[in-house]
Copies of this chain bind each other. A is one copy, B any other.
Amino acid sequence: MQLLKDKLTEVRVLLDASFDKKLALPEGKEKRLVEAMRYSVIGGGKAFRAFLVLTVGEILGLKKEVALQIATALEMVHTYSLIHDDLPAMDNDTMRRGKPTNHIQFDEATAILAGDALLTNAFEVLSDPEMELDAEVRCQLINFLAQMAGKSGMCGGQMLDLIGEKESLSLEEITRLQTKKTGALLRFSVLAPAVAVKANETIQKALEKYAANIGLMFQMTDDILDIEGDEKLMGKTLGKDKTETKSTFITLLGLEETRQRAYQLCNEAKEAISLLGEKATLLLSACDFILERKN
């Protein structure tokens, strides 16, 4: 687990340097927009998705700079989704990662724009002509990211989530919601390096299974933490699911069954990537990390 923690720290440093370069402050009053983008993206969070890109990339022999470029784009998309989810019209959250949410720190209009600009920037990063990757493969990655982030992926999941605040959802719908809302970007994190190096189908299938499982695990532990977590460690308001009587894995399955299923998904995820051998140690630790996380 210490290896994983060191890696997460290393990734955070690399990522922040990359953001700092790509989001240089411009001249003029409009620099406020870039300030708002930087506020949420630099130093924010565990960068777990970037960790996955860099770690899978390393295992598959992808150039580190290329993996970092992909991770930068992905974390921009992830952060835009958090900024927009926190808005008053959405989840109306005031704290995120231990500091005021973007719309509290700046204002609502700026936060909407900062999210829009981060999403747009992700595609600028992936289409960068300086990136050492075939144009054909860059296009594939762009298409993949757009699909995972868009109407059939993350945005579709968030729509279901919003609907779930007003009407109850079935277990099938909650699973679909999470597969889209959290799972889609995790799928991109794990599979994008495989697309970039044109990995064979066996490896792609294994990584796909791994990604699907950790995606669901991630959400299950999130639901558990919403009940049992420590607000200080989490850096956000907890217990919201309960007060809002929302359907979650826990309201549908109960706490124990949810914990059981997360445990089973963890084992299956580990098994799925056994074909990668010793190189996959960090990915195995990542499963435990999700299961045992406190924030």
| A120 neighbours in B (Cβ, 8 Å) | 119, 146, 149-151, 155
Contact call B119/A143, Cβ cutoff below 8 A:
no
Q: How far is the CB of A171 from chain B (nearest CB, A)?
A: 14
A128, closest chain B residue (CB): B143
Contact call B151/A37, Cβ cutoff below 8 A:
yes
Given B33, B37, B87, B107, which contacts A112 in the complex, CB threshold below 8 Å? B87
A34 part of interface (Cβ distance < 8 Å): yes
Name A114-150 residues within 8 Å CB distance of B: 115-117, 119-121, 123-124, 126-129, 134-136, 138-140, 142-143, 145-147, 149-150
Contact call A160/B29, Cβ cutoff below 8 A:
yes
A134, closest chain B residue (CB): B135
Q: A32-B163, A151-B37 are in contact. Are A89 and B117 (CB under 8 A)?
A: no
Contact call B32/A113, Cβ cutoff below 8 A:
no
Q: A112-B87, A129-B140 are in contact. Are A32 and B159 (CB under 8 A)?
A: yes
Number of chain A residues close to chain B: CB under 8 A: 59
Contact call A109/B162, Cβ cutoff below 8 A:
yes
A201 part of interface (Cβ distance < 8 Å): no
Given B108, B151, B176, which contacts A33 in the complex, CB threshold below 8 Å? B151
Q: How far is the CB of A109 from chain B (nearest CB, A)?
A: 5
Contact call A146/B127, Cβ cutoff below 8 A:
yes
A254 part of interface (Cβ distance < 8 Å): no
Highest count of chain B CB atoms <10 Å: which of A80, A138, A146, A162: A146
A29, closest chain B residue (CB): B163
| A151 neighbours in B (Cβ, 8 Å) | 23, 26, 33-34, 37, 117, 120-121
| A169 neighbours in B (Cβ, 8 Å) | 29
Given B119, B142, B180, which contacts A142 in the complex, CB threshold below 8 Å? B142
A204 part of interface (Cβ distance < 8 Å): no
A158 part of interface (Cβ distance < 8 Å): yes
A34, closest chain B residue (CB): B151
| A126 neighbours in B (Cβ, 8 Å) | 142
| A32 neighbours in B (Cβ, 8 Å) | 159, 163
